[in-house]
Amino acid sequence: MSLIAKAGGAAKEFELVPQGTMVGRLFSIIDLGTTRNEKYEKDVHKVRIAWETSETMPDGKPFAISKTYIVSVHEKSQLRKDVEAMLNRKLSKDEEGAFEIKSLLGTYCMLQIVHVTHGEKTYANIQTVMAVNTKMVKLFEPVNSDIIFEFQDDAQSTMIAFDNLADWQKEMVKKAKEYSILFGGAVKPEVVTKNFSPNAMISFVRATELYNSTPENKRAEVLAKAGVNSFFELTEAQALNVAPF
């Protein structure tokens, strides 16, 4: 399922992105899938987009800031407003019908950041997204690797991409209905498309049961014993070797 928009733990303290206007480079697009908006009693598909900025932290790494959007390029949507601002042009009729959000990866823009206080906490928010004038502003070299996650039609492709996300990103994705539909909250052996022999499939099922019962912060060790980054990468020979553990 391509991420296309159409018209129609204890708390951890982070250093806030400074207020002001700065250059941003879009480096992360995470499909948050569909969740229920109880207030309006409807399902909403959202995406989280993040930029690295020209402002740097004490360790020299760029500040990063993100914004969550409803996946829609309807003429009144915030996503469309910010996309057209970044691109410095209106979307075409074809793009209104199917805008490929991941085409924005690597796009530079200007971000206006403001601090907003709610209760005892202060947050850095993106107030305005603007096009960048490269004749007036020097662009910085990319620092962070580009990140893209989107729910695919098959569970295997989705899980391989999911395994590469940070733990906090995985927690957001797990709230999606798409995640529950694909995995039911855990890896399902039946989503494997390889034509394993019966013995290898039994081993794979046993390994999957172990994986699902293992705390998430220990699952990497289980995968390491199998010599893979994801259970969906297992060959038949590796699946047979998994059985003892």
Return the domain boundaries, the chain.
4-149, 155-242
Joined tokens for residue 52: 């690295």
> Which DSSP string do the residues of 22-54 spell out, in sequence order?
EEEEEEEEEEEEEEEETTTTEEEEEEEEEEEEE
Q: What is the pTM of this model?
A: 0.72
Most confident among 90-104, 150-164, 221-235 (mean pLDDT) = 90-104
Q: State pLDDT tens for residues 39-68.
A: 888 889 999 999 999 999 999 999 999 999
- Are 200 and 239 spatial neighbours (Cβ–Cβ below 8 Å)? yes
Distance CA 227, CA 221 (A): 10
pLDDT reading at 91 higher than 50: yes
Identify the pLDDT of residue 24.
98
Position 23 scores a pLDDT of 98
* Region 90-97 average pLDDT: 94
* pLDDT value at 214 more than 70: yes
The whole-number pLDDT of residue 38 equals: 83
Q: Is the pLDDT of residue 76 over 80?
A: yes
Q: What is the pLDDT of residues 94-121, one digit of tens each?
A: 999 899 999 999 999 999 999 999 999 9
